[in-house]
Amino acid sequence: MRKIASTIVCGLALLVLSGSTALAQLPEFTELAKSAGKAVVNISTVKTVDQSQGVEEFFNRFHRRGGPFEDFFDQFERFFGPQQMPKRQQRSLGSGFIMSRDGYIVTNNHVVEQADKITVNLQGGETSYQADIVGRDPETDLALLKIEVDRELPVLEFGDSGEMEIGDWVMAIGNPFGLDHSVTAGIISAKGRVIGAGPYDDFLQTDASINPGNSGGPLLNTDGKVIGINTAIIASGQGIGFAIPSDMAKQVIAQLKKYQKVKRGWLGVTIQDVDENMAKALGLDAPKGALIAGVRAGDPADEAGLKAGDVVVSLNGEPVEDADGLTRRIGRMEPDTKANMTIWRQGKVKKIAVVLGERDTAQEEARAEQPDSEQTSGRLGIVVRPVRDEEARALGMDEARGLLIQDVEQASLAAEAGLRPGDVILAANGQEVETVRGLSQILNEDAAEKGAVLFLVNRKGQNLFVSIPLTDGDGQ
């Protein structure tokens, strides 16, 4: 009995020792919260909201000639006249952190976008400053502010997000729901997340609690360095937050400080991922790289000799895994720099150097408003536009006609039916389609009535039919 009792006591002692060892390995956030919290700020904004726009949209939606509410709205407008709602002041809260002792502050673009007044409150809320926007970058959701101060401020330094591993401990500081300087801790859950926020998605995912009001606040490693800027959450999920990696943020913030905007490299190509069937057809060993589907005449890629059908397999000596990866890396390079590419062309490796141009967002937006660049993204889950002349040959067509599918949403009706980027819709329910407006009309009328749409699709020069059921009778 004594031997058994002695064995039990020894076993318990080992458990206590092993437990204390495990506890000793847990990170200690107390000092980090004290020191880092001094450089985290509360950002409150005021912007003017025009309430008349919502009322106008409501009237336009239901006040249709021949509609069931026509008489009601006619009488309403006759007695009360056009409805004008007063403008109101909308307030919102966010977070940020001080990056320089003279008052430069990093936050999210969506925290300060369209703000008429920006107030920065330092820790404790005793000191407030009016802030000016130095620059904004909607595509990465980053903004740089400046406050005028007569003393040196506490700061946080950027760390290296590339060194972070899945499972590393992190701490988030912010102002969730207006609760000043809240601290949460967790781990890096994943890296390189694409959540559809923009063309340069490359988020860190963390289970450190991030809530409304945390936006723009820092995600810190255990050394107290900023390795991410807290930006997004999934409303339906718990323990899932996303942060812009510091390696991207450092470049964007530096350009905002220098130019008040971000200058991005530009190739002038349409690219897509390489799937397994494409890899086989192209003679590639694996479905990797970025397939060039179209080259815009006169742009840098065209001048360097890139062609539709080329697959970019490496950039500046680093492998290119997919189209998103190439887009992000080109976007991080400045205009007029040289991009050294290795491409796969007709079974052979070829090296091409491209001097990048500058991406003109304003020009792209203006082009998108023209009929040639109309887009639609509806219930089918596709984004389309008319095929351009310079793309027809690369798409396996004798002439430019139909609508090119640029994007297909995951788990959408189009995706389930097998449609993919690069397909060209030639006809819908037996009717040729040349414009987005024409396609929308077929979907809303003939297809909605029949409960299904039958597309004639050109895929790399081969025609095929694809049918999609519209279960609720609504093509959009």
Tell me what the mean pLDDT of segment 202-206 comes to.
94
Give me the catalytic one of 182, 215, 314, 412: 215
Mean pLDDT of 314-342: 93
Is 141 annotated as catalytic?
Answer: yes
Q: Which of 90-94, 200-204, 212-216, 217-221 has the lowest mean pLDDT?
A: 90-94
Residue 346: pLDDT band (50, 70, 90) is confident
Nearest Cα neighbor of 290 from 269, 313, 316, 265 is 313
Angle of helix 323-332 versus helix 246-259 axis, rounded to 10: 40
pLDDT score for 48: 78
Q: pLDDT, tens digit, for every residue of 389-416? A: 777 877 888 888 999 998 888 888 888 8
Q: Provide the pLDDT confidence category of residue 361 given band limits of 50, 70 and 90.
A: low
Known binder of ligand: residue 63?
no
Record the tokens describing residue 359, joined without a space.
């991406």
Are the beta carbons of 222 and 102 closer than 8 angstroms?
no
CATH superfamily name and code, 265-358? PDZ domain (2.30.42.10)
228: which residues sit within 8 A by CB, 6+ positions away? 161, 170, 204, 206, 218, 219, 243, 244, 245, 246, 249
Please tell me which residue, 357 or 236, carries the higher pLDDT value: 357
CATH superfamily of 371-469: PDZ domain (2.30.42.10)
> What's residue 56's pLDDT?
55
Highest mean pLDDT among 50-64, 353-367, 416-430: 416-430
Catalytic residue among 110, 189, 201, 209: 110
Distance CA 120, CA 146 (A): 10
Whether residue 268 contacts residue 299, with contact meaning beta carbons closer than 8 Å, is answered with yes
All structural domains of the chain with their residue ranges: 29-49+89-259, 51-86, 265-358, 371-469
Tell me the average pLDDT across 26-55: 82
pLDDT, tens only, 103-124: 999 999 999 998 999 999 998 7
213 is known to lie in a ligand binding site = yes
pLDDT in the model for residue 156: 97
Task: Band the pLDDT of 223: cuts 50, 70, 90.
Answer: very high
CA 52-53-59 angle, to 5 degrees, is: 90
Q: What are the C-alpha distances in Å from 108 to residues 98, 111, 112, 143?
A: 13, 5, 7, 5
231 is in an annotated binding site: yes
pTM: 0.65
Say if residue 207 carries a ligand binding annotation: no
Run of H or E including 9? helix 2-25
Query: Does 110 belong to an annotated binding site?
Result: yes
Q: Give the pLDDT of residue 235.
A: 66
Q: Name the CATH architecture for the domain at 29-49+89-259.
A: Beta Barrel (2.40)
- The two tokens of residue 242 are 């996303």
What distances in angstroms separate CA 250 from CA 35, 61, 272, 442, one per listed residue?
Answer: 22, 45, 28, 48
Check the annotation: does 235 bind a ligand. Answer: yes
Instruction: Please identify which of the residues 141, 202, 247, 273 carries the catalytic annotation.
Output: 141
Cα-based angle 73, 75, 76 (whole degrees, multiple of 5): 60
User: Identical fold at 265-358 and 371-469?
Assistant: yes
CB-facing half-sphere around the CA of 120: CA atoms within 13 A: 27
How high is the mean pLDDT of the chain? Answer: 83
Is 250:231 a contact under the CB 8 Å cutoff?
Answer: no
**According to the annotation, is 301 in a ligand binding site?**
no
Rounded to the nearest angstrom, the gap between the alpha carbon of residue 384 and the centroid of all alpha carbons in its chain is 19
Above 80 in pLDDT, residue 324? yes
What is d(CA 354, CA 356) in angstroms, rounded to the nearest whole number? 6
pLDDT in tens, 49-105: 665 555 555 555 554 444 555 566 566 666 655 555 566 667 778 999 999 999 999
Range ranked top by mean pLDDT from 23-37, 156-170, 270-284:
156-170
**pLDDT band per the 50, 70, 90 thresholds, residue 368:** very low
Q: Exposed, middle or buried by CB within 10 Å (0-12, 13-18, 19+), for 16?
A: exposed
- Residue 239 marked as a ligand binder: no
Tokens 């967002």 map to which residue? Answer: 361
Length of the chain: 476
Rounded CA separation 452/294 (Å): 31
Strands 403-408 and 382-386, sheet pairing: antiparallel
pLDDT higher than threshold 70 for residue 474 = no
pLDDT classification of 363: cutoffs 50, 70, 90? very low
Which span out of 78-87, 115-124, 153-162, 196-205 was modeled with the highest average pLDDT? 153-162
Q: What is the pLDDT of residue 158?
A: 97
- The DSSP H or E segment spanning 255 is helix 246-259
Task: Quote the CA–CA distance of 397 and 394 in Å, as a whole number.
Answer: 7
Pairwise pLDDT comparison (196 vs 275), residue with the higher score: 275
- Counting beta carbons within 10 angstroms of the beta carbon of residue 192, is it exposed (0 to 12), middle (13 to 18) or buried (19 or more)? middle
